[in-house]
Amino acid sequence: MAAYLAELGLRPLGVDPSLGMLEAARDRYPDLDFALGSFAVLPVPDGGWAGAVAPYSIIHVRPATRPAAWAELARAIRTGGWLLVAFHIEAAGQPAGSLLHVAEWWGHAVDIDFHYIDPVAVVAELAISGFDLVSRTDREPWLDIEYPSRRSYLLARRR
């Protein structure tokens, strides 16, 4: 995502809580900026960002801590700034609100939780945190190309 935004002429900052992921990103894109951080503590002063893109990252945040994540994004994004968030709604055997724990992925031992999230809940949480919904798009999966889940894309603007 950071490389794409840089190609558009923007100066993105990639943020990840994993040092390993940051190392991989820096190796692959040495001319871009990456920083350690999370939805709990973003590495930016108040109102320091014009916007944020969070593709499939909020799915790793527990429901009880999601409101704090939205509040931290609201702190980081200036008034009038944008937030684009994407997440999985549901998949076979995984309704919205459910949790999938993964211990093995692509032949590697991992310890990852994936939360399937109801878009109505996210829109309400965003509103409480100071974002106005501009657009919502839900879609079916692209079969044989990606994980077979329904997905939601929300574009919101900071009040």
Tens of pLDDT along 135-155?
A: 999 999 999 999 999 999 999
Amino acid letter for position 97: G
* Domains parsed from the chain with CATH numbers: 38-89+117-158 (3.40.50.150)
Q: What is the pLDDT of residue 141?
A: 97
Query: Rounded to whole angstroms, how far apart are CA atoms 13 and 99?
Result: 29
> Region 83-90: what's the mean pLDDT?
98
Q: Where does residue 158 rank: exposed (0-12), middle (13-18), buried (19+ CB within 10 A)?
A: buried
Number of H helices, E strands in the chain: 4, 8
CA angle 66, 106, 114 (to 5 degrees): 15
Would you state the structure tokens that stand for residue 110, as one six-digit string? 């991992």
What per-residue confidence (pLDDT) applies to 106?
87
pLDDT (tens digit, 9 = 90+) per residue, 4-40? 999 999 999 999 999 999 999 999 999 999 999 999 9
State the residue for tokens 């919205």.
Answer: 96
Over range 83-101, report the average pLDDT: 98
